[in-house]
């Protein structure tokens, strides 16, 4: 299958997946910020975990109008910039364009569905550790994988077709039956680790696991997320907490993406990872005292930092 693919948000995630698809011969068009000239000149370099891939020719643009209609659009902007999407995406759409959000947390598919119709929305969960080490270089620390699913209902032929395109590009990709359930399952990990790593003093997952009290907190936060998921109608099993702990024990000293954002002085994805899950938990009457505490504190940390930086609480636009 050949798709005309648009990549919106060319940070590490967008550049990596877009780069792999382009290298495999798909027609890929990147929306870029300031790095446009540099990437046009030098291409992209994907490296790490046994890979060393140079893609000399990258189609990049600073406006979605210049890209025009695509068959598939990958959304990889930070969720804090979601409010720009309704204005940004329309030039990329034809009648059957599919929108696949690779973003963190909850609420991203809903935003796309509200503005562009639920029937064209898919979501992907990225389990990979990527770092942009120069304007044209993305380093991966692990092989990683991506899970994709439909926003509405079980997988369709198109879901497996897109997964096939990812697989043919050398990416580990599987299709999930129930995307919402898998989003909550990922939150079981992100809600505790992404917050505690920042709040407990800027520490990695290994340091969290090594501290009895922090491990207690982690497990208890995980149980709150599982409880909320179940009350929201997603049959997430209780054992998901222990499974995530076991998986984390194999990961070494891992820094969650929000900790990297924090240490890099970037805004944090507060609403997608903590705010929206909390609102959904509250709407169904799930008790989530720890989630609320973490949300309140992180939200303040993010605001205080942005005020100190003089940028105010506003969004960093993508383009």
- Helix, strand, or coil (residue 114): helix
Please say which residue, 201 or 233, places its beta carbon nearer to a second copy. 201
CB of 199 to a second copy, least distance (A): 5
Taking the C-alpha atoms of residue 103 and residue 106, their distance in angstroms, rounded to an integer, is 9
Taking the C-alpha atoms of residue 294 and residue 191, their distance in angstroms, rounded to an integer, is 9
**Residues in Cβ contact with 23 at an 8 Å cutoff, skipping those fewer than 6 apart:** 46, 53, 55, 169
Q: Which residues are catalytic?
A: 186
Please say which residue, 124 or 275, places its beta carbon nearer to a second copy. 275
Taking the C-alpha atoms of residue 91 and residue 69, their distance in angstroms, rounded to an integer, is 6
By DSSP bridging, strand 59-61 and strand 70-75 are: unpaired
Please say which residue, 21 or 278, places its beta carbon nearer to a second copy. 278
Q: What is the CA radius of gyration of the chain?
A: 19
Structure tokens at 156: 């369709």
Sites of contact with a second copy (CB under 8 A): 196, 199-203, 207, 211, 213-214, 216-217, 220-221, 289-290, 292-297, 299-301, 303-305
CB of 317 to a second copy, least distance (A): 24
CA 72 to chain centre: 17
Structure tokens at 220: 């208890």
Please say which residue, 213 or 250, places its beta carbon nearer to a second copy. 213
- Helix, strand, or coil (residue 60): strand
CB of 272 to a second copy, least distance (A): 16
- Helix, strand, or coil (residue 271): helix
CB of 214 to a second copy, least distance (A): 5
Taking the C-alpha atoms of residue 14 and residue 35, their distance in angstroms, rounded to an integer, is 14
CB of 192 to a second copy, least distance (A): 10
The count of C-alpha atoms lying within 13 angstroms of the C-alpha of 33, restricted to the half-sphere facing its C-beta, is 13
Please say which residue, 110 or 211, places its beta carbon nearer to a second copy. 211
């Amino acid at each position: 299958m050949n798709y005309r693919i648009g990549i919106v948000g060319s940070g590490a995630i967008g550049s990596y997946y877009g780069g792999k698809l382009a290298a495999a011969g798909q027609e890929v068009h990147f929306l870029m910020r300031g790095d446009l000239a540099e990437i046009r000149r030098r291409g992209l370099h994907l490296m790490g975990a046994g890979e060393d891939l140079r893609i000399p020719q990258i189609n990049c643009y600073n406006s979605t109008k210049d890209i025009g209609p695509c068959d598939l659009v990958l959304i990889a902007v930070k969720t804090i910039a979601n409010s720009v999407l309704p204005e940004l995406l329309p030039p990329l759409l034809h009648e059957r364009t599919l929108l696949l959000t690779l973003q963190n947390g909850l609420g991203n598919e809903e935003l796309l569905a509200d503005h562009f119709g639920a029937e064209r929305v898919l979501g992907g969960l990225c389990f990979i550790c990527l770092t942009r080490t120069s304007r044209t270089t993305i380093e991966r620390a692990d092989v990683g994988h991506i899970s994709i699913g439909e926003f509405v209902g079980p997988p369709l032929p198109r879901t497996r077709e897109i997964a096939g395109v990812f697989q043919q590009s050398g990416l580990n990709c599987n299709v999930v039956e129930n995307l919402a359930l898998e989003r909550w399952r990922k939150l079981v990990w992100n809600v505790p680790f992404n917050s505690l790593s920042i709040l407990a003093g800027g520490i990695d997952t290994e340091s969290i696991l090594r501290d009895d009290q922090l491990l207690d907190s982690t497990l208890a936060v995980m149980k709150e997320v599982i409880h909320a998921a179940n009350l929201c109608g997603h049959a997430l099993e209780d054992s998901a907490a222990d499974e995530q702990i076991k998986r984390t024990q194999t990961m070494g000293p891992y820094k969650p993406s929000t900790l990297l954002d924090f240490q890099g002085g970037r805004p944090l994805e507060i609403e997608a990872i903590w705010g929206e899950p909390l609102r959904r938990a509250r709407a169904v009457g799930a008790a989530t005292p720890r989630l609320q505490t973490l949300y309140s504190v992180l939200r303040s940390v993010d605001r205080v930092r942005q005020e100190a930086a003089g940028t105010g609480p506003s969004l960093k636009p993508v383009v």
